Structure 1
Amino acid sequence: MPSSQTHRPSLRVLRVDASARLEGSVTRQLADLMLRELAERVPGLSVARRDVSAGLPFVDAAWVGANLTEPAARDASQRQALAKSDELVAEVMAADVLLIATPIYNFSVPASLKAWIDQVARARLTFRYTEHGPEGLLTGKKAYVLAVTGGTEVGSAIDFATPWLTFVLGFLGITEIEVIAADRVMLRGNAARQSASEHVIRVLDRDWPAFAEAV
């Protein structure tokens, strides 16, 4: 007889895509590769997808006012102002692993990804202030950042995207972060893509060795 119990997925991944390109996007190709390889290593993998490329609401005065109001005291309009943020926060909280696939536009992240961060960075939900300073509440999660650039060298003095993402994820409590870069694609071409693909395989073999040995 089939079990009546609901089995929790062995690993829950939230994939966040930020590239404006839907076809031919190197970030999306790398994210596809990572998920295929991860699925081979982890039985029962569950993937939720959030494509932010079409844009998200920006934080405005109504959002700030609602967020500063105690949850029990919020009226209907305030709850509506935070509805999308609540949805995005719930996705992050439910995930064991974040896979953030982003290009670097003009030395930083796309505006849509910044809007996503603004929506999920919520005091009392994903971080809090204590007498010892801010404390991230999204602990126990891994994050993989797939960063693709046309000409910017990831990790260089003009890369303001990956250091910022690493900092803000750490601020929220996610400190296990791996940056995988296919950088300077316009200069390095397929070599950049191949290097990043090989990095993906090495990282997955490192992080999920028991599963890798079993397949």
Structure 2
Amino acid sequence: MKILQINASARTQGANSTRLADAISARLKAAHPQAQLELRDLARQPHPMLDQDALGALFTPAEQRSAEQTARVALDDALIAQVQAADVLVLGVPMYNFGVPVQLKCWLDAIARAGVTFRYTENGPQGLLTGKKVYVALARGGQYRDTPADSQVPYLKTMLGFLGMQDVEFIYAEGLAMGAEGVEQAFAAAEAHIAALIG
């Protein structure tokens, strides 16, 4: 089994979402000792945004691309290959201003490629990244679960599902800015949830 952990926090150290993602990966490794874990930290390895130059490269036929365009597309290719090779994904996702971090948005933009990770058919879009289990570790300062202020879960369900990843579990650590006792309770509840999900 291959596990791919994506840390989406802007912090390289001390991120609550990374702490939670690490706990999920550790539990998976304990349950599957032969599993291989690959880590991509988007703070340490930021991916370029989808800008005009990137779009130009992607929409230029491969044989007509400049060296710069070929190199730009290769960056996205590497992320796509990582996801394609993974059996399990663990995403560490903090909430920034009620949304996902720009680091994660850039990663999602990179792996969403027509004809490769999804395609359009006469019956509508079809995701091609199928057969994968996804755990999303959500860290929030306040309490947003199941409220209209939580834009993250609907977006991630839609985006991951569009790419074919339908088997998604969300693990929450909330109220992390509401005092030390709240932090302890949030992580205890999250760790209990992880234990229940991963035997």
Q: TM-score, normalised by structure 2?
A: 0.92
Q: Which of 159, 173, 179 in structure 2 is aligned with 1:168?
A: 159
Query: Which residue of the partner structure matches residue 41 of structure 1?
Result: 31
Counterpart contact for 1:140–1:174, Cα < 8 Å: yes
1-side partners of 2:38 and 2:129: how far apart? 17
**Is 1:202–2:196 an aligned residue pair?**
yes
Query: Which residue of the partner structure matches residue 12 of structure 1?
Result: 2
Query: Which residue of the partner structure matches residue 101 of structure 2?
Result: 110
How many residues align? The count is 195
Aligned with 1:128: secondary structure?
strand
What CA deviation, in whole Å up to 9, does each residue of 1:175-210 have, x standing for no partner?
0000000012222321111101111111112xxxxx
Deviation at 1:20, TM superposition (A): 2.2
**Is 1:29–2:23 an aligned residue pair?**
no
Task: Return the index of the structure with the highest Cα Rg.
Answer: 1
1-side partners of 2:141 and 2:9: how far apart? 13
Q: Which of 60, 83, 95 in structure 2 is aligned with 1:92?
A: 83
Q: Amino acid of the residue matched to residue 14 of structure 2?
A: G
1-side partners of 2:115 and 2:77: how far apart? 12
Aligned with 1:49: secondary structure?
strand
Aligned-residue sequence identity (percent) comes to 39
2-side partners of 1:98 and 1:170: how far apart? 13
1-side partners of 2:65 and 2:122: how far apart? 26
2-side partners of 1:131 and 1:71: how far apart? 26
Counterpart contact for 1:14–1:98, Cα < 8 Å: yes
1-side partners of 2:4 and 2:94: how far apart? 18
Pair 1:74–1:21, CA change in 2 (3 A): closer
Which ranges in structure 1 are unaligned for 5 or more consecutive residues?
1-10, 206-215
Q: Amino acid of the residue matched to residue 42 of structure 1?
A: H
Q: Amino acid of the residue matched to residue 51 of structure 1?
A: D
2-side partners of 1:80 and 1:24: how far apart? 33
Deviation at 1:75, TM superposition (A): 4.2
| Two-structure CA RMSD over aligned residues (Å) | 1.5
2-side partners of 1:129 and 1:138: how far apart? 14
Query: Which residue of the partner structure matches residue 190 of structure 1?
Result: 184
Pair 1:24–1:80, CA change in 2 (3 A): closer
Which ranges in structure 2 are unaligned for 5 or more consecutive residues?
none
Q: Amino acid of the residue matched to residue 194 of structure 1?
A: A
